Amino acid sequence: MSGSLDGMNNTHRLKQAVQIACMTRGVNMDTLAREIGVRPTTLSQWCTGKVTPRPRHVPIIAEVLGITPADVVRLLGLGTP
């Protein structure tokens, strides 16, 4: 997945990862948000860069997206976990 995300800013990287997860799993963003344990508006705000996920959400986001927590941190541009 990293190859397709090269050259994008952090907001677009997370948004694309969420879109890929939705398409792969056949769900919408509302369902994905519920699986993460947040409201759909919160997930949308993460994807647009208005809000950064709390550290406690990183492992849950990783599990739902099928990536590692370190990958989530990189997608968000937060450095290393």
- Picking from 52, 48, 49, 59, the residue whose alpha carbon sits closest to that of residue 81 is 59
pLDDT value of residue 59: 95
Domains of the chain by start residue, with CATH: 2-76 (1.10.260.40)
Q: What is the DSSP letter of 67?
A: S
- pLDDT tens digits for the chain (81 residues)? 444 444 456 667 888 989 998 999 899 999 999 999 999 999 999 988 898 899 999 999 999 988 999 998 888 887 654
As given in the structure block, the two tokens for residue 33 are: 């948000």
Task: Output the pLDDT for position 80.
Answer: 53
